[in-house]
Structure 1
Amino acid sequence: MHNVVTTSHDLKALLDWYEAMGVDCAVDAAPQDRFAESLRQAQARQKARPAQDSQQNRPFSPQSPTNRSTPAGAGNQSHPSSNAASHNASAAGAPGGLPTNAQGAVENARALALQASSLDQLRQTLASFEGCSLKFSAKNLVFGDGNPNADVMFIGEAPGRDEDLQGVPFVGRAGQLLDKMMAAINMDRSSSYITNILPWRPPGNRKPSLDEQNLMQPFIHRHIELVNPKILVFLGGTSAQQLLGSKDGIMRLRGRWQTYSIGGQDKPKRDIPAMPTLHPAFLLRTPAQKRAAWQDLLEVVAKLESLR
């Protein structure tokens, strides 16, 4: 049976489905050869293995930050230590772009991240990092945007199509909504900092695999350390679960203050209040939840005032 598109609503739904499946790549100015992409990814993994093996033979003391919940009824949430991330990556296998030796890959990523002493150095490190195959299917590295000295740091999941094309986080429809959300609390990109847990777009806008999240976790942790904000806002369940080490869904996590710990080596240890909230892309699909996100933003404003 063939479905016939008879209305503009049906056409939009069909185009949205094509975009979700990654067909948008075929209508770009430079069409993407999926077979060549797979070959590049395989070559990158093969090339990365000697570096991972040599890195594993070096003595290394992984950073293991701990985390505690605030007394505001959040429960005992903690973001995963580097050891836990390595263990989870190793146990999960390597279907999402990790080399076979997943634990060695995470340790290598952690060592590289710790060497970056500034945001510019971290950007350069990511630009030259070839351990994650997402790099070879993405068009651009999407690092961060806004004021690196801001008090509030927003962290989403991964770049989408518009972000991949422009190399800037949150510039598509979800980003436009995020701008409106920030404006509602007298904030904009000059007074905040925005990034994602992954700097490259997963093909077809799919959810990042656990392997990909674990591999890139040391880089986002270092990113947070270098920005050193007063408050973190985790946009969506993937960001919140990864950075808090929680299996709870965003509906259980949102609206409750958590604590994210940074430092311990080259910087003093510090606990940062963290607010998980709903991702703007989810709010576009479910406008009725905008009230809940608004309540979360009011909590952020109140907390920021108390810290000043």
Structure 2
Amino acid sequence: MNAARDLHPEQLRSLLHFYADAGVEWLLEEEAVDRIAAFEAMRAARVAAAPPEASPAQQPARPAPARQEPARPAAPAPMPNVAIPDGQAVAEAEFAAGSARSLEELRTAMEAFNGCNLKTSARCLVFAEGKAKPSVMVIGAMPSADDDRDGLPFSGRQGAMLDRMLAGIGLGRAELLLTNVVPWRPPGNRPPSQREADICRPFIERQIALAEPNHLLILGNFAARFLFRSNETIHQLRGEWRNIEVSGRTIPAFATLHPQDLASAPISKRLAWQDLLTFRAGLKG
């Protein structure tokens, strides 16, 4: 394996771009560091530098204790966060989502909802962006680090790649509604758990129902399996029109690869382009 110092600047720049597109946020040292040994050495140095304790004969006389005030009752400790059982959290999510009569009301309800643990680690809620009543609604899996920072879906490099993908078939953000299945970024971009996905399902389904899109474009493995309720992979689900039932309404849906898939495997761009052409033809039909 080549060390970073052995790479040409252009090679190093390309490697760092690849790591960023792949979601890498931390770099490791080239050689292992024994943190335990370093801690022990630091503790030994502190003990050696500490002044010796004075003997009882050398210690100054202590003044007489002052009259003590009556002890005041201690302030009550703050209540710890109590985990909401999954079944109750799903029920609360269904009630909150069902009570919303517009996308703005749904956003407010999701901002006030505390039943999903992902909210505690995310910077902010990443809600839908774009046209309120679109012909096409684009749905990804979950916010990226850029989305979590900006508070908008499909920000940063993944968003720029998606813009180029859509522009290739004549679509732009202004005429679409973009969102994610899960509105809070999981720690470290890990996939959401099944319980987390179940809690978030009422919100994305209510979002689809309120937006009333004519077509859905679903991006990536997690979102496709979630919305199609399937155990197949994105490579089995992509490239074909399927119907989704949401609030008693049947909506044609089409799945393809996520921009992150294309960043990590550029050879897949050919498949995504074929999918987008098929999707565009379906919009005209």
Q: Report if TM-score (shorter chain) is over 0.5.
A: yes
Name the aligned partner's letter for residue 279 of structure 1. H
Partner of 1:262: 246
Partner of 1:159: 143
Partner of 2:42: none
Partner of 2:276: 297
After superposition, residues 56-67 of structure 1 pair within 5 angstroms as none
Partner of 2:258: 279
Provide the identity percentage: 40
Secondary structure at 1:303's aligned position in 2? helix
1: CA distance between counterparts of 2:218 and 2:80?
34
Partner of 2:201: 217
Instruction: Identify the structure with bigger relative contact order (alpha carbons < 8 Å, sequence gap 6+).
Output: 1
Partner of 2:120: 136
TM-score (norm 1): 0.69
Partner of 1:108: 92
- Aligned partners of 2:147 and 2:154 also within 8 Å: yes
Partner of 2:101: 117
> Aligned pair in 2 of structure 1 residues 43, 304: CA closer, same or farther (>3 Å)?
farther
- Aligned partners of 1:236 and 1:276 also within 8 Å: yes
Name the aligned partner's letter for residue 240 of structure 1. A
1: CA distance between counterparts of 2:211 and 2:23?
32
Name the aligned partner's letter for residue 267 of structure 2. A
After superposition, residues 40-79 of structure 1 pair within 5 angstroms as 43-44=80-81, 46=82
The CA deviation string for residues 58-84 of structure 1, in whole angstroms up to 9 with x for no partner, is xxxxxxxxxxxxxxxxxxxxxxxxxxx
- Aligned partners of 1:155 and 1:196 also within 8 Å: yes
2: CA distance between counterparts of 1:118 and 1:171?
24
2: CA distance between counterparts of 1:301 and 1:12?
33
* CA radius of gyration, larger in: 2
Secondary structure at 2:174's aligned position in 1? coil
Shift of residue 20, structure 1, vs aligned partner = 4.2
1: CA distance between counterparts of 2:267 and 2:16?
24
Aligned residue among 166, 169, 175 for 1:191: 175
Q: CA RMSD in A?
A: 2.4
> Aligned pair in 2 of structure 1 residues 144, 192: CA closer, same or farther (>3 Å)?
same
2: CA distance between counterparts of 1:299 and 1:134?
35
Name the aligned partner's letter for residue 257 of structure 2. L
> Aligned pair in 2 of structure 1 residues 22, 286: CA closer, same or farther (>3 Å)?
closer
2: CA distance between counterparts of 1:296 and 1:208?
26
Partner of 2:191: 207
The CA deviation string for residues 85-119 of structure 1, in whole angstroms up to 9 with x for no partner, is xxxxxxxxxxxxxx3x2122112211111111100
Secondary structure at 1:190's aligned position in 2? helix
Aligned length: 230
Partner of 1:76: none
1: CA distance between counterparts of 2:170 and 2:260?
21
> Aligned pair in 2 of structure 1 residues 117, 275: CA closer, same or farther (>3 Å)?
same
Partner of 2:235: 251
1: CA distance between counterparts of 2:273 and 2:3?
40
Shift of residue 12, structure 1, vs aligned partner = 6.4
Name the aligned partner's letter for residue 174 of structure 1. Q
TM-score (norm 2): 0.75
Shift of residue 4, structure 1, vs aligned partner = 3.9
The CA deviation string for residues 269-300 of structure 1, in whole angstroms up to 9 with x for no partner, is 22101101100111112121112111211222
